[in-house]
Amino acid sequence: MSPSSDAVFISVDGIDGVGKSTQIAALTDWLTAAGYAPVLTRDPGSSQIGLKLRSLLLDGRLQMHRRTEAMLFMASRCEMVETTIRPALAEGHCVISDRFLLANVVYQSIASDGSGVPPDLLWQLGDLANGGLRPDLTLLLDMPAAESLRRIDRPADRMESRGIEYMEAVRQAFLQQLPRASDATAVIAAEQPVERVTQAVREAVQSFLQQKRPR
């Protein structure tokens, strides 16, 4: 693997507690050592507007309709795409995003009370908000909801507090919707020891880059 001027957009996703932050940090270090200059983003967030919207979306004291929730996520992502991701890709960077549209589709489509937004509509709205931009590669860190909730060592945010049945439904929705997230995808078994997960992530990214830029 060697650095290239070709830009690449990688998204890392999965239910809370699967270790996204740990694996993104390891992937960033690995790509940097290989000569890349990764640009990191977090969805929602990565802009002044996005950070304000993030605080609203994760505030456990607030209740909001799923459509309201969905549109706030879309607005945050639109700002992130236009102010951070597109400029970085235009400069030839490798962009790594902690979540992207896939998570928006999954979380806002799952609701036991019937208030979920249809996934097809969320994909359409997401493409509108993103100007059609989707990741080149989506990595899904997957593990059972019971294990992910056990690993969370902080107070649950508004979404995590919905319980294990909800989180398992979210997990299954991630697996179901993943093929629509990007042309290239990989499911990583995240319940393995951290070192094995890190190696699996590297292998998936290296395989993708080699196929994208054959030598």
- 18 annotated as ligand-binding: yes
- 21 annotated as ligand-binding: yes
- 96 annotated as ligand-binding: no
Give the number of other CB atoms < 10 A from CB of residue 61.
5
Q: Which of 213, 197, 47 has its CA nearest to residue 137?
A: 213
Instruction: Answer yes or no: are the C-beta atoms of 38 and 93 closer than 8 Å.
Output: yes
Q: For the chain, how big is the Rg over CA atoms in Å?
A: 17
- 17 annotated as ligand-binding: yes
Task: Name the DSSP letter for residue 134.
Answer: -
Q: Tell me if the bond preceding 44 is cis, omega within 30° of 0.
A: yes
- 16 annotated as ligand-binding: yes
- Tell how many helices (H) and how many strands (E) occur in the chain: 9, 5
Geometric angle at alpha carbon 45, from 135 and 96, rounded to 5°: 30
Q: Is 157 left (phi over 0), alpha (psi -120 to 50) or beta?
A: beta
Expressed in angstroms, the distance from the first to the final Cα of the chain is 9
- 45 annotated as ligand-binding: no
Annotated binding residues, as ranges?
A: 14-21
Annotated binding residues for ATP, as ranges?
A: 14-21
